[in-house]
Amino acid sequence: MASITLDKITKVYPNDVTAVNGVSLDIRDGEFMILLGPSGCGKSTTLRMIAGLEAISSGDMLIGGRRVNDVDPADRDIAIVFQNYALYPHMTVAKNLAFGLKLRHVPASEIETRINRVAALLGIEPLLGRKPSQLSGGQRQRVALGRALVREPQAFLLDEPLSNLDATLRSSMRTELIKLHHTLGTTIVHVTHDQVEAMTMGERICIMKDGDIVQVGEPMEVYRNPANTFVASFLATPPMNLLPGRIESVGAGALVVAMDGVALPVPTAFQAAYASHSGKPVIVGLRPEDFHLAAGDAARTAPIDLVTITTEVLGPEVILVANLASGAGPEIHARMPRDFRAKIGQPLTLHFDLAEIQLFDPETTRVLPRPAHP
Amino acid sequence: MNQSKTMEAADRRFGWFMSAPSLALLLAVILFPVFWALFTSVHDYTLIAPNFDTFTGAENYISAIQDPAFRHSLGLTAFFVAAVVLFEFLLGFIVALMLNSVERFKPIYYGILLCPLLMNPVIVGLIWRMFLHPSLGIVNYLLTVVGFEPVNWLGSTQMAIWTIIMVDIWHQVSFMIVLLLAGLSAMPKEPYEAARVDGARVYQSFFYITLPLMMPVIIVTLLIRMIFAVKTYDLIYIMTRGGPGVATDLVSYSIYRTAFVSLNVGEASAMSAILLGFILLLTVYLYRYMRSLT
């Protein structure tokens, strides 16, 4: 097991495209770290640089405290699971698992013990004699995982390993990976563009965009305190509603967030933090689950008048798509209980939980710092 | 039911009708000569007495097999085929591996490599006969310029077969390169990355991944090349006429001599049948192997 440290890692491709731009990240020993971002954000390149499959243009890469910039992938003692599994097509499952051990001159008896142990762990014993072409996608996925496990490396690198599986299998593999990490305690770096994987699996999430790290933190911390509008709109479906607004003073130090036809009073706990932005435009971030049908404590909730555009009945919940009553601004998504129904064009009043409001600077898109939840 | 049966029969008749011209042509230019040769091979048919009056049974076959010159030709051809296929494969594979990792100017390399392959063997033979002329050829001139003794490329019984082998390699190696390169570029990239992380060095990746994955392409390429090499005739005719002596008397040329110099068409036909047998064997194996792949 080992920690992995990225110190101002940059990757510039020969065609002058900068894929990763001076990224610094500390992955702790035994941590389950998620690299999350849209395609092209540099997360896979970062993972491949950790593996040694991609040369590092500048910066330092440390695995277990050892600088590995110029160390061959073979000597980094890490294992990688590829998105398309990359099994050796001409070898049986058993030989696929044994290959890395054989190259490292592990004694045959030891190889057999380890293969049997991993095969039992993943439930692939009946497949050991088969070739990859005779396996289903889920089985190949397990073999690819087994090939990594059997090596007992210092760290596992997973490059979107679940993205080729169907939804049910993906969900069960998620649970299995979490269980595996719990059993083995080995450092895992998992690259994904799927925010559900990120939220459910990671001990910490590192969100990347355009070759930069945007935010690193525990899933709920990132979810509740997004660093900017990108993170706010990337995590969760439907994402945080982002609406144009303005902070206005209403005398005696009281502030409101004014949107078209709506004024949300700023909770007292946040007023000091937002005071300096008084009179300036902001982007108002409202999570869909913070809209409620009933008014709560008057100090905590504020009514918002909406006009229904449509409802999406998902089963466990209903997503209400609506406009502000004034008709201005982008669509608002709100999570409603499963029995909620509304006709198209029907006016509604929902109550927003003010303690959950997030405000962003429209120019920098960065969040305006405020105290944690009151 | 009944109607569909008659319609099917009508379809089939129409099919035969449409393919009849090409079938007739194939019959005339391929099957007829083959059967004619097989028929001739069991008769005493010479160009002095071109008739099928004397049925000789297996006599032509026995005398062909007992003929030391023919046996020499068979042995020499086996050696020639083994040498050209082996060297062309090794050289072709090395060049293909190098070209496979080339990023720029690939079409230009392709173009240059394909030039020899596009040339008629007769032209290749003529060019090289000029290049290798003992006193006027550019090869010997260059050798003397850098201080070597001139070589009697085609006149020495020791050297001549190797000269033919070298010219054949020059002519045909591109075939190997193109086929092997096609195989290499169709190889999946991912297993190599997996192998690198698994701890494989470059040579280990080659032996554990490239070779086994390339095996079908390699075997097919070798077999096709062998089938063609067995039939080598034009180069010999242009460059050495089987000489000096019988030093380059490959089996195709030997058959030609038996038929049109010794005028013994019957025995030459028997020799052709024996050669055809060998080639058929290779072809059947190739066909079976290719079927086993799918």
Distance, C-alpha B137 to centroid of its chain = 27
Is B196 in contact with A82 (Cβ distance < 8 A)? no
A116 and A216 in a single domain? The answer is yes
Residue A147 is part of a domain; what is its CATH number? 3.40.50.300
What pLDDT does residue B208 have? 92
What pLDDT does residue B2 have? 66
Final residue before a domain boundary, out of A178, A202, A228 = A228
A213 and A269 in a single domain? The answer is no
* Peptide bond preceding B33 in cis form (omega within 30 of 0): no
Whether residue A370 is contained in a domain is answered as no
* Helix or strand holding residue A324 (H, E): strand A318-324
How many CB atoms neighbour CB A76 within 10 A? 24
> CA angle at residue B219 from B215 to B221, to 5 degrees?
115
**Is B33 near chain A, with CB under 8 Å?**
no
Count of domains in chain B? 1
Final residue before a domain boundary, out of A176, A204, A228 = A228
- B162-184 core/surface letters (b: 16 or more CB in 10 A; e: else): ebbbbbbbebbbbbbbbbbbebb
Whether residue B43 is contained in a domain is answered as no
Interface of B with A in 157-216 (CB under 8 A): 188, 190-191, 193-201, 204, 208-209, 212-213
Flag whether pLDDT at B124 surpasses 80. Answer: yes
**Spatial CB neighbours of A190, under 8 Å, sequence gap ≥ 6:** A32, A33, A34, A35, A158, A161, A177, A197, A201, A202
Query: What are the beta bridge partners of residue A217?
Result: A205
Tens digits of residue pLDDT in B49-63: 788 888 888 888 888
Could you say which residues of chain A have pLDDT below 70? 1, 253, 373-374
Count of domains in chain A? 2
Whether residue B201 is contained in a domain is answered as yes
Choice between B58 and B253, residue whose per-residue pLDDT is larger: B253
Find the domain containing B109 and state its range. Answer: 62-293
A171 and A319 in a single domain? The answer is no
Tens digits of residue pLDDT in B3-62: 777 888 889 999 999 999 999 999 889 889 999 889 988 888 888 878 888 888 888 888
Flag whether pLDDT at B181 surpasses 80. Answer: yes
- Report CA dihedral (B157, B161, B162, B168) to the nearest 10 degrees: 150
Residue among A78, A85, A90 whose CB faces B213 most closely: A90
Whether residue B173 is contained in a domain is answered as yes
What pLDDT does residue A373 have? 65
Whether residue B176 is contained in a domain is answered as yes
- Residue A80 with chain B: CB contacts under 8 Å: 193-194, 197
Residue A286 is part of a domain; what is its CATH number? 2.40.50.140
Whether residue B255 is contained in a domain is answered as yes
ipTM of the complex: 0.79
Tokens of B124: 């290749």
A136 and A256 in a single domain? The answer is no
Find the domain containing A283 and state its range. Answer: 241-360
What pLDDT does residue A190 have? 95
What pLDDT does residue A172 have? 86
Q: State phi, psi for B166 to the nearest 5 degrees.
A: -65, -45
- Residue B207 with chain A: CB contacts under 8 Å: none
Residue among B190, B199, B201 whose CB faces A82 most closely: B190
A37 and A146 in a single domain? The answer is yes
- Residue A51 with chain B: CB contacts under 8 Å: 197
